[in-house]
Chain A
């Protein structure tokens, strides 16, 4: 297959970026989107005229959350429920022009080309995205019974990979789905309930402080989330958050 790529190039955080056009040919339909970029990059290196395209990636199996790209105006392109590394070129038509951009959101400044700085996510989790248990103080695991339903629902929320597609998709750059997934994961488990209210309060405050926008319930985040994190977790967050307000 052959493609025309329109790729965002930006030297560093301070420089202004622009789109540049590249052609790639003889791409196998079983190739992933990132492998296609590898092929382009190998060519650019050998040509030696400009730097290869910088993009973040690691696991290449949809779990590390490192690789998000805005492709043809959608987070991770035309397929749903996948990360960029899992997007197959067979999802495109031969001859397509494909636009590739970094996540665009104020709290995620561009580092270079397609790489953005998502450290704001870590900062939100640092203020409370955990259960405060020291190593060694845990009780025997089976003395804590958790219904299968609660465990499964907690898992659904915990499956978030911290990729930022939700923020990039949201017109307000809200991090609500990301934050809600962690709050909901822990609030559904008995061992996570004790700190639930405090946790919600601290994480939401941090989210606001870091410049993420408010949630206006459009639901676009959940549609584009590669892990299909459900909007119902945002409702759960709101419940915890209301409790937090009452406690004040």
Chain B
């Protein structure tokens, strides 16, 4: 009964993409000029797609909620971007990057997509360098690499600790160039609030102008969602304050299936939560695990002393080597501190739950550079991580050159998202989803430095071809008229929802509800889950949703900047999405990647995967407001690799 057709091409793995490209329909240059495309999002995925589409001759309208496209959340990515260039001659290859990514994702992603991603990785580096991205170089002027978690080769390209910024500025440059030629029209300060479908096809969007409050409608032959991830369901996450699930959630309600909503990545190295007044958590790049060593005291009473101390970090320097438990090196001798994120996060939680935590709340472990500084010198460490150390010092007032950092896991990235086929099209014809917004390439866990790679592969090299296959059938469709009942109805729905939010007049702010949601999700749908907890979470979320719509209070101004109204809409979506995340996690009776079920683990506390029953992608179909959603399954077929136990020991 499954309605899912992934459109994976036949043939050998390494020929699939080439073959597919040959079979894709082409649109003539003259016809491209007549076709309009909407792109929502100006991060790496959206900017790269919009620029490439405009270069091909399509007319593009692009939207973001920030005041400039350059401020999309991709700007914050720190550590790097992977590519199978094998510049280090350490036996890297497309096949190895493919295998690492599939294994890193715990064998829950499509072979064909992941292989294509690895194939395209090299061209992304070429393109970025041509745009002027100042990647790190060695003394002879060649590109430099570093290692990231989950791999044993050095394939990560980086621009100090600001790789995302530099890549985005490259793509933003390409975008600007097309804005200048008027092939792209840029709409900043706009938030998409609904998708418009005509005859079953995606034909436009409804947005709110965040400055004037005006509800605006825009039409196009196809719509591309590049709105990023939804880790902000956890209000204390590493994502930007405005990152939201709105676009993919509206699309879901209009018929775009939502895949693997429960697959969330909790990043192991973030600055721990301190106090009640915090608004977000700051990531300390994974690259730090190249040289930093993670530990807690071997002795519980020692840890307890640290928890009571006012200066735990400097006290820690006095703890001798034989009293330190470098628990990742102990448990995973092959990968040590470079195990994948999910493994490192769980291990930190395990130590802290067992009372070895090292800050006042008991939720922190040490990341120590003592040995690295001794071996490489302070200067070299400064060169590698200077800006990260400075940032840490500014935020915490502790100096990582002198005492270890304190870190703890935090919600960071969402592997789930809109279900898409090999062409990156959702289950709504003409609606595409790219970058973190889709579910495609990372299975149940994403390897570090692979999100930037995926966003840019989607935007530069995949979508510009695959969208032609759809649009080739649309060359006789005139520009989409926005004065139709479909557009009017969607506008009405958006206005009604805004009016409803404004009229509640309760007693609690949006932030209150977002924090409540965080507590539910972090405790029950976070690093580890179990059946009882997930059921409890679903009940709690239902209750929270009722309270939200009864007791919310926001300012009433509609025709001006109203940031509380913006937040309210986003949190309303998060609450609904949370329920689906919990349901998805409950339906998967196995542990895989970021989805760790306490009720499915080995005696040693490692994840227990169930390949015979769960080698599938879940794809949830919305059935209406008070109806239960239906889960469809896309079975994953592995023709080229054996599903092995994912071991990093």
* Chain A residues packing against B (C-beta within 8 Å): 11-12, 27-28, 30-32, 34-36, 38-39, 41-42, 45-46, 48, 51-52, 54, 56-66, 79, 81-82, 86, 88, 90, 111-112, 115, 117-119, 121-122, 125-127, 129-142, 144-148, 151-152, 154-155, 158-159, 161-162, 185-186, 189, 191-192
| Docked CA distance A162–B136 (Å) | 22
Given contacts A27-B277, A54-B563, contact A140 B126 (CB under 8 A): yes
- Between B240, B276, B390, the greatest number of chain A beta carbons within 10 A of the residue's beta carbon is seen for B240
Tell me which residues across on chain B come within 8 A of A132, comparing CB atoms.
Answer: 177
Q: Are B70 and A141 in contact (CB under 8 A)?
A: no
Q: Are B126 and A151 in contact (CB under 8 A)?
A: no
| Docked CA distance A192–B391 (Å) | 31
| Docked CA distance A238–B587 (Å) | 64
| Docked CA distance A90–B51 (Å) | 44
Stretch in B258-266, B347-355, B552-560, B626-634 with 4+ CB within 8 Å of A: B552-560
A115 to chain B, nearest CB (A): 7
Tell me which residues across on chain B come within 8 A of A130, comparing CB atoms.
Answer: 131-132, 173-174, 176-177
Closest 8 CB pairs of A and B: A130-B173, A145-B141, A138-B130, A138-B126, A155-B134, A135-B52, A64-B71, A154-B134
Q: Are B143 and A141 in contact (CB under 8 A)?
A: yes
Tell me which residues across on chain B come within 8 A of A122, comparing CB atoms.
Answer: 68-70, 176, 186, 188
Given contacts A34-B279, A86-B395, could you give 12 more A-B pairs where the C-beta distance is less than 8 Å? A11-B560, A28-B275, A28-B276, A42-B512, A51-B555, A64-B73, A65-B68, A65-B70, A131-B130, A146-B141, A155-B166, A192-B132
* Chain B residues packing against A (C-beta within 8 Å): 48, 51-52, 55, 66-71, 73, 75-76, 85, 87, 122-123, 125-132, 134-143, 159-160, 162, 165-166, 169, 172-174, 176-177, 179-180, 186, 188, 211, 240-242, 274-280, 282-283, 390-391, 394-395, 397, 460-461, 464, 507-509, 511-512, 553-555, 557, 560-564
B561 to chain A, nearest CB (A): 5
| Docked CA distance A121–B70 (Å) | 11
Given contacts A66-B71, A138-B123, A142-B87, contact A185 B277 (CB under 8 A): no
Tell me which residues across on chain A come within 8 A of B73, comparing CB atoms.
Answer: 58-59, 64
20 A–B pairs (Cβ distance < 8 Å), ordered by A: A31-B275, A34-B279, A42-B509, A45-B509, A52-B563, A54-B561, A58-B241, A58-B242, A59-B71, A64-B66, A64-B73, A64-B240, A66-B67, A81-B390, A131-B131, A138-B129, A139-B126, A147-B141, A154-B134, A161-B75
Q: Are A158 and B130 in contact (CB under 8 A)?
A: no
Q: Are B68 and A137 in contact (CB under 8 A)?
A: no
Tell me which residues across on chain B come within 8 A of A137, comparing CB atoms.
Answer: 130
Q: Are A135 and B51 in contact (CB under 8 A)?
A: yes
B86 to chain A, nearest CB (A): 11
Q: Are B68 and A86 in contact (CB under 8 A)?
A: no
B387 to chain A, nearest CB (A): 9
| Docked CA distance A152–B562 (Å) | 41
Tell me which residues across on chain B come within 8 A of A151, comparing CB atoms.
Answer: 134-137, 141
**Nearest B residue to A53 by beta-carbon distance?**
B563
Q: Are A63 and B75 in contact (CB under 8 A)?
A: yes
**Nearest A residue to B562 by beta-carbon distance?**
A51
Tell me which residues across on chain A come within 8 A of B397, comparing CB atoms.
Answer: 88, 90
Which of B176, B282, B283 touches A129 (beta carbons < 8 Å)?
B176
**Nearest A residue to B464 by beta-carbon distance?**
A135
Which of A81, A139, A189 touches B134 (beta carbons < 8 Å)?
A189
Q: Are A111 and B561 in contact (CB under 8 A)?
A: yes
- Between B129, B186, B282, B509, the greatest number of chain A beta carbons within 10 A of the residue's beta carbon is seen for B129
| Docked CA distance A82–B124 (Å) | 32
**Nearest B residue to A156 by beta-carbon distance?**
B134
| Docked CA distance A2–B461 (Å) | 54
Q: Are A63 and B135 in contact (CB under 8 A)?
A: no
Tell me which residues across on chain B come within 8 A of A52, comparing CB atoms.
Answer: 555, 563-564
Q: Are A147 and B177 in contact (CB under 8 A)?
A: no
**Nearest A residue to B282 by beta-carbon distance?**
A61
Given contacts A122-B176, A131-B130, A135-B51, contact A39 B277 (CB under 8 A): yes
Q: Are B66 and A127 in contact (CB under 8 A)?
A: no
**Nearest A residue to B387 by beta-carbon distance?**
A159
Which of B128, B134, B188, B275 touches A30 (beta carbons < 8 Å)?
B275
Q: Are B553 and A45 in contact (CB under 8 A)?
A: yes
Q: Are A119 and B188 in contact (CB under 8 A)?
A: yes
B484 to chain A, nearest CB (A): 31
Q: Are B553 and A46 in contact (CB under 8 A)?
A: yes
Q: Are B240 and A129 in contact (CB under 8 A)?
A: no
Q: Are A58 and B141 in contact (CB under 8 A)?
A: no
| Docked CA distance A38–B563 (Å) | 11
| Docked CA distance A36–B512 (Å) | 16
| Docked CA distance A63–B78 (Å) | 10
Q: Are B166 and A35 in contact (CB under 8 A)?
A: no
**Nearest A residue to B512 by beta-carbon distance?**
A42
Tell me which residues across on chain A come within 8 A of B274, comparing CB atoms.
Answer: 28, 30
- Between A11, A35, A63, A162, the greatest number of chain B beta carbons within 10 A of the residue's beta carbon is seen for A63
Tell me which residues across on chain B come within 8 A of A186, comparing CB atoms.
Answer: 132
- Between B128, B159, B557, B563, the greatest number of chain A beta carbons within 10 A of the residue's beta carbon is seen for B563
Given contacts A52-B555, A118-B68, A131-B131, contact A62 B126 (CB under 8 A): no
Given contacts A59-B76, A129-B173, contact A145 B140 (CB under 8 A): yes
| Docked CA distance A88–B398 (Å) | 14
Q: Are B391 and A61 in contact (CB under 8 A)?
A: yes
| Docked CA distance A32–B122 (Å) | 40
Tell me which residues across on chain A come within 8 A of B139, comparing CB atoms.
Answer: 148
Given contacts A58-B66, A135-B55, contact A148 B141 (CB under 8 A): yes
Tell me which residues across on chain B come within 8 A of A191, comparing CB atoms.
Answer: 129-130, 132
Q: Are B126 and A141 in contact (CB under 8 A)?
A: yes
Which of B143, B173, B283, B560 touches A112 (beta carbons < 8 Å)?
B560
Q: Are A139 and B68 in contact (CB under 8 A)?
A: no
Q: Are A133 and B130 in contact (CB under 8 A)?
A: yes
**Nearest A residue to B555 by beta-carbon distance?**
A51
Tell me which residues across on chain A come within 8 A of B52, comparing CB atoms.
Answer: 135
A121 to chain B, nearest CB (A): 7
| Docked CA distance A119–B280 (Å) | 27
**Nearest A residue to B508 by beta-carbon distance?**
A46
B20 to chain A, nearest CB (A): 17
| Docked CA distance A31–B276 (Å) | 9
Tell me which residues across on chain A come within 8 A of B211, comparing CB atoms.
Answer: 111-112
A45 to chain B, nearest CB (A): 5
**Nearest B residue to A61 by beta-carbon distance?**
B282
| Docked CA distance A30–B138 (Å) | 39
| Docked CA distance A156–B190 (Å) | 32
**Nearest A residue to B280 by beta-carbon distance?**
A60
Q: Are B280 and A86 in contact (CB under 8 A)?
A: no
Tell me which residues across on chain B come within 8 A of A46, comparing CB atoms.
Answer: 507-509, 553
